[in-house]
Amino acid sequence: MSALSEKKDDNIPHKPTEAAVTRLHASNDGKIIDASHLPERYSIKTLGEERLLNCLEAPNLNVHIESGLVISGAVAKKSPGGTIFLDGVAQCEPFLDHEHKIYNMDHHEGCVRAFTLSCCEQTLVMYMKGLDLRGEEWHIFANEPDLDTVLAIWILLNHGRIGNLNSTQRRILFALVRYEGVIDSFGLELKELSALAPDLMRKIQRVVDRLRKDEINLKKQGAWQKTDYLDYTVSILHKIDQIFYKSSDFKDYQGVEELARIDLIENRIAAVVEADMGIYEIEPHLGKIYGNRLGIVFLKKGPNVYTVRQMDLFMPLSLDEVYDRLNFEDPAVKCRTAANKWGGANDIGGSPRDTGTGLAPADLARTCRDAVCKWSFGQQAFRFLTTFFLSGFIVLCAYIAKIYWKPENWIEGLNPGLFWSSSSFCFAMIILMATSLSLLLISHRHPWQYGWITSCGKQWWLLLPALLAAALAGGVWIPKELLMSRSWPIIFVVGAGALPLAFELLFRSLVHGMFAQHSCIQRCDSPWFISWPALASTLLYTGFIMAMVIKDQTSIHNISILHLAMTIIGAAVFGLTTAMVRERSQSLLPVILFHGLAAVLVIIFKILI
C-alpha cells in the first residue's frame, strides 16, 4: 500500500471557497496532489423550525444532529420507514429492520461493547453488504458529532462515490474506519487490535488527530456543548473529502438540491429539485439519486419558474391532469391570459410564462399528489357527510336564532319597521357570520379555492337566462313571513340582499370549496362539464330549499305534488347553474349578483300575483 501523505492545515473554514487553501490528496503513487476546488457538496437547510444537513449528491438523505437526543428502543422500532439511528440515539441494541427500513447503528445499549463493531464500522459493513439508499427519503439521527458518528455520516452521504474509489483509497478508508472503531471502543491503549501495519497505523493516527483536533480543543475549552453541531459536522466532512477526493474526481459533478418530495402511487414519488442544468441534462443524475422511483420531477430554473417532467411514462396518468390541478391551486393563474398558466406536452411542461408560479415547492409536490391520487368512493362519501353536517349545523343554528329573535321585546320603543328587526334578517346574518368564521379557519391558505378572487372570463353570462327561469320555478326561497309583512324596503333589503349573500357564501363558497379541494372543476377556458363539487353543492342546496319551503307551510298536506316537484326542479337547476357560474368565473361575485337579481325577479313576480 502506498504511503498516505498528510499535512497539517487546521484553519480550513467551514465553507471553503474556490480560493480556499490547498487541499491534499494521497494518490496511488504517494505523491501529493493539489485537491483544491473541491465542490461544496454539504449544506445546511431549514425545514420548518428544524435545521438539517444535506449532501447535494444525496438530497434524499437528511441528517439531524441534536444534542442529548435519545429515544426508547420501542419507539425506535416503530419509526417511519427510511430511518437510521447513529451511536446512542436509540436506547436499545443495534438492529436491522430491512422490511420497514429502520436501522440502529450502535454499540452502547443491549450489546457486549467489546464484541460489537463501532457505529462507523457497522455503517461501512451495511454499505458493503448493499444497503440501497436511493429513492427513499432517509432521515439520519445523531446526538453528538464525534469522529465515529461523523465517519458514519460521511459513508452514508457518499454512498454513491465510495464505489468509484480506487483500491488504495478504499484500503485507506477501511483502515481509517477500522482504526477509529477500535480506539472508540477500547481506547488508544488497544489500538494494535486494528491489525494495521505500524507505518500505516502512524499515518492513520495523524489523520485521526487532524480530524479530531477541533473536537479536542472545544472540549478542553468547555465549549463543546455550545458548538453548532451541524456547522462543525460540515467542516469535518470537508476535511474527510480532502483525504479521499481530488478535483478531477468531480469533473462530472452536478449538485442537486431537493426542495420537496412526496409519495405518489405504485412506489413512485414526485420531487422538486434545483440544479444548474437543464431538465434533460439532469435526468441521468436523478436516476443515480432516486433510481426508478421518480415519477414526476419539478426542476426550478429561476425565481418561481419551473419545468415539470414526467419521468415514468408508464404511470397511470398524464401531465394534463397535473396541469389542471396546478392551474386550480396556483394563485398566479387567474385566466387573464391564455399563456399564463401551467401547460405543455403530456410528458414535459412548465409554470406560467408571465408571472411564474405562486406555489412553494412543498405545494407543488402536494398538488401533484392530489392530481395523481384519486379519492375513493368511501373518501368522497365521508367528505360529503362532513360537509352536509357542517352546513346543516350552520342552518340549524340560524333557524333557532330566528325563532327567538324578538328585539322589540328587548328594546323599548323599537320601530318594528327596521330591517334588522326582521327574523329573516337574523337568519341571514347568523348564516353569514357562521359561514365566514368557517371560511376564515379553512380558506386562509387557498382563498381562490373558495371564490375569493375577482371574476374572469365571460362565458358564464350564458347561464343567466336558465338561472332566472329556475328561480321563478322555485329555485330561490323568499321567507313567507317576510312577504306577508308587506314592508317592501325590508323585503328587498333582506330577500334580495342579505339572504342571497348568505346562501351563496354557504353553498357556493364554503360547501363548493370543500368539495373542490380534491376534485376537478371547470375553469374559464375549460370544456363544459358538470363537476362533482357542482353536483354535490347542488344536492345540499336543493335539500335546503325543500326544507325551507316545507317549513313555510302550516301543514305538509298543504303542499301539492306539482308545487313540490317544481320546487325541486327549480332548486336543482338553480343550484347547478350558479355552481357552474362560480366555476367558470372562478369567483363568488357573479353568483352573488345573479342570485340577487333572481331574488328581485321572484319578489316582483310574487307582488304581481
The model's pLDDT over 590-607, given as tens digits with 9 standing for 90+, comes to 999 999 999 999 999 888
Q: Say yes or no to pLDDT of 3 above 60.
A: no
In whole angstroms, what is the distance from residue 214 CA to residue 212 CA? 6
In whole angstroms, what is the distance from residue 38 CA to residue 31 CA? 18
Pair 307, 298: CB distance under 8 Å: yes
Q: Which of 94-98, 118-122, 407-411, 419-423 has the lowest mean pLDDT?
A: 407-411
Q: What is the reported pLDDT for 413?
A: 57
In whole angstroms, what is the distance from residue 544 CA to residue 504 CA? 12
Q: What is the reported pLDDT for 5?
A: 35
Q: Which domains are seen in the chain, by residue range?
A: 24-250 (no CATH), 257-372 (3.10.310), 377-608 (no CATH)
Grid cell, residue 198, equals: 505500524
Q: Say yes or no to pLDDT of 281 above 50.
A: yes
Q: What is the reported pLDDT for 240?
A: 93
In whole angstroms, what is the distance from residue 175 CA to residue 170 CA? 8
The three-state secondary structure class of 609 is coil
Q: pLDDT tens digit string along 500-552?
A: 999 999 999 999 999 988 788 888 878 899 999 999 999 999 999 998 888 87
Give residue 19's pLDDT band: very low, low, confident or very high (50, 70, 90): very low
Q: Which of 37-51, 470-484, 557-571 has the highest mean pLDDT?
A: 470-484
DSSP one-letter string for 212-234: HHHHHHHHHTT-GGGS-HHHHHH
Q: What is the reported pLDDT for 50?
A: 85
Q: Say yes or no to pLDDT of 125 above 50.
A: yes
This prediction has a pTM of 0.65
Q: Say yes or no to pLDDT of 29 above 70.
A: no
Beta pairing partners, 24: 34
The mean pLDDT of the chain is 84
Q: pLDDT tens digit string along 61-104?
A: 999 999 989 999 999 999 999 999 998 899 999 999 998 899 99
